[in-house]
């Protein structure tokens, strides 16, 4: 007999033991979701892959020998499930990752629904607010800039980087998980780090946490500028090289002046009160759900989910996801009641 956490496993596994084992395994569901999201850049795909991970774990339970923890075993299954799913798939970019320069804010914009865009991740309820270091580390590993940068890596490079630098596994453990030698793991990690430095050199730049008073003040001014339809006020909120993008449109924009011009040129709002907001968080970052007044019904309907990268000197990056389906995933209503 051997002990696996609180589960006793005998040579012959009965149904009650399997049920107890899988019940214990459920406590890792949220972190496995984050892991699959880092690998794929898609909330939808991550949810499916976590389900597949638990199905594979259940099917192979009889072969689990207890040489690692249940958590480690599940991560191995999840990683290989993701690698299989990613085989032959295109990466999920943001518009700024397509390789084209910043666009003219007065030019035409086009929906590109045929591109499999990067998706946002709803934040989990914070279970242990007493440990700021754990919170910060968890947030950093799902920030949009990091997830977008991971998309430039091959699936195996992603797996190695995440397992080594997010989960802090040893190289030998990673090699065993993905079927590679320690030397191959170290080589993959070195190339992955170099690629990240090339595509996102600002990944380590300081950011403000969503619950900080500075962010609360900035969000209030940001949402107020839109709600009052005083778009010129946005200029003072952005950093000098701020970036704005809004998938599924394939263009992106740089500088406060261009962001303001874009909003004036292409935003369907015309009057104060046309836009309203609910505040939330996504990818460990402050976020604001925008609702646009429907001129036919007068109702404010789900329009965009803005995920903000806030630095000490202002808003450095906004990704405005124009997909209604994200609202339900974030527990947000599709229509706002009258104020």
CATH number of the CATH domain containing 15: 1.10.1740.10
3-state secondary structure of 43: helix
Q: Which pLDDT score, from 0 to 100, does residue 9 have? A: 39
pLDDT at 290 over 80: yes
Which residues pair with residue 280 across a beta bridge? Answer: 287
Q: What is the spatial distance between Cα 83 and Cα 269, in angstroms, rounded to a whole number?
A: 43
pLDDT for 186 equals 97
Q: pLDDT, tens digit, for every residue of 38-83? A: 999 999 999 999 999 999 988 887 676 666 788 899 999 999 999 9
Report whether pLDDT(329) > 80. Answer: yes
Instruction: Supply the range of the domain harboring residue 305.
Output: 213-336
In a domain, 78, yes or no: yes
Contact indicator for 118, 93 with CB cutoff of 8 Å: yes
Question: Domain holding 257: CATH number?
Answer: 3.10.450.50
Q: How many CB atoms lie within 10 A of CB 126?
A: 13
End residue of a domain, out of 89, 117, 139: 89
The residue out of 40, 62, 89 marking a domain boundary is: 89
pLDDT in tens, 301-314: 999 999 999 999 99
120 pLDDT exceeds 50?
yes
Query: How many structural domains does the chain have?
Result: 2
> Residue 254 pLDDT more than 80?
yes
pLDDT score for 17: 65
Whole-number pLDDT of residue 61? 75
Q: Around Cβ 44, how many Cβ atoms within 10 Å? A: 12
Domain boundary among 89, 115, 150: 89
Burial class of 272 by CB neighbour count within 10 A (0 to 12, 13 to 18, 19+): exposed
Checking if the pLDDT of 325 tops 90, the result is no
pLDDT at 47: 96
Position 323 scores a pLDDT of: 80
305 forms beta bridges with: 289, 321
Q: Does 191 map to a domain?
A: no
Q: Is the distance from CB of 214 to CB of 206 less than 8 angstroms?
A: no
Which has more confidence, 139 or 96?
96
Q: What 8-state DSSP symbol labels residue 255?
A: S
The answer, yes or no, to whether residue 263 has pLDDT greater than 80, is yes
Helix, strand and coil content of the chain, in percent to the nearest 5, comes to 45, 15, 35
Q: Could you tell me if residue 148 is inside a domain?
A: no
Distance, CA of 104 to CA of 32 (rounded, Å): 40
Say if residue 3's pLDDT is above 60: no
Residue 59 lies in a domain: yes
**Mean local confidence (pLDDT), 94-107:** 95
Query: Who wins on pLDDT, 126 or 22?
Result: 22
**Integer Cα distance of 308 and 208 in angstroms:** 10
Looking at the chain, the whole-number percentage of residues with pLDDT higher than 70 is 88
- Total-model pTM: 0.89
Which of 328, 81, 315, 288 lies closest to 214, judged by CA?
A: 315
Cα 105 to Cα 102: distance, rounded to the nearest angstrom = 9
Task: Provide the CB-side half-sphere exposure for 46 (13 A, CA).
Answer: 23
pLDDT score at 25: 83
The mean of the pLDDT values for the chain is 88
* Token code pair at residue 162: 């995440």
User: pLDDT band at 292, cuts 50/70/90?
Assistant: very high
Number of Cβ atoms within 10 Å of the Cβ of 168: 9
pLDDT of residue 183 exceeding 50: yes
In a domain, 38, yes or no: yes
Asked, for residue 329, whether it belongs to a domain, the answer is yes
Burial 284-297 (b: 16+ CB within 10 A, else e): bbbbbbbbbbeeee
At 200, is the pLDDT very low, low, confident or very high (cuts 50, 70, 90)? confident
- Does some domain include residue 65? yes
Average pLDDT over every residue of 317-329: 92
- Output b/e per residue, 54-82; b: 16+ Cβ within 10 A: beebeeebeebeeebebbebbbbbbbbbb
Residue that the structure tokens 């990673």 belong to? 174
In a domain, 152, yes or no: no
């Amino acid at each position: 007999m051997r002990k696996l956490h609180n589960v006793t496993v005998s040579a012959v596994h009965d149904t009650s033991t399997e049920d107890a084992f899988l019940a214990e395994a459920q406590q890792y569901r949220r972190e496995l979701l984050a892991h699959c999201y880092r690998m794929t850049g898609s909330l939808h795909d991550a949810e499916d892959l976590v389900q597949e991970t638990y199905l594979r774990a259940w099917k192979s339970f009889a072969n689990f020998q207890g040489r690692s923890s249940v958590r480690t075993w599940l991560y191995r299954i999840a990683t290989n499930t993701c690698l299989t799913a990613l085989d032959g798939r295109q990466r999920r970019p943001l518009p700024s990752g397509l390789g084209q320069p910043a666009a003219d804010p007065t030019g035409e914009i086009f929906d590109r629904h045929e591109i499999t865009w990067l998706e946002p991740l709803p934040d989990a309820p914070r279970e242990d607010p007493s440990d700021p270091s754990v919170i910060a580390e968890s947030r950093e590993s799902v920030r949009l800039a990091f997830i977008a940068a991971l998309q430039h890596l091959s699936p195996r490079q992603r797996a190695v980087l995440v397992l080594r630098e997010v989960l802090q596994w040893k190289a030998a453990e990673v090699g065993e998980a993905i079927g590679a030698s320690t030397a191959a793991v170290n080589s993959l990690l070195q190339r992955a780090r170099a690629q990240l430095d090339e595509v996102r050199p600002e990944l380590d730049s300081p950011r403000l946490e969503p619950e900080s008073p500075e962010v609360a003040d900035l969000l209030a001014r940001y949402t107020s500028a839109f709600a009052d339809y005083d778009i010129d006020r946005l200029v003072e909120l952005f950093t000098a090289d701020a970036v704005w993008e809004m998938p599924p449109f394939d263009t992106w924009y740089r500088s406060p002046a261009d962001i303001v011009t874009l909003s004036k040129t292409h935003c369907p709002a015309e009057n104060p009160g046309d836009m309203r907001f609910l505040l939330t968080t996504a990818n460990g970052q402050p976020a604001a759900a925008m609702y646009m007044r429907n001129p036919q019904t007068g109702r404010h309907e789900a329009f965009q989910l803005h995920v903000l990268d806030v630095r000490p000197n202002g808003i450095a990056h906004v990704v405005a996801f124009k997909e209604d389906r994200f609202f339900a995933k974030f527990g947000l209503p599709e229509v706002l009641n009258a104020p």
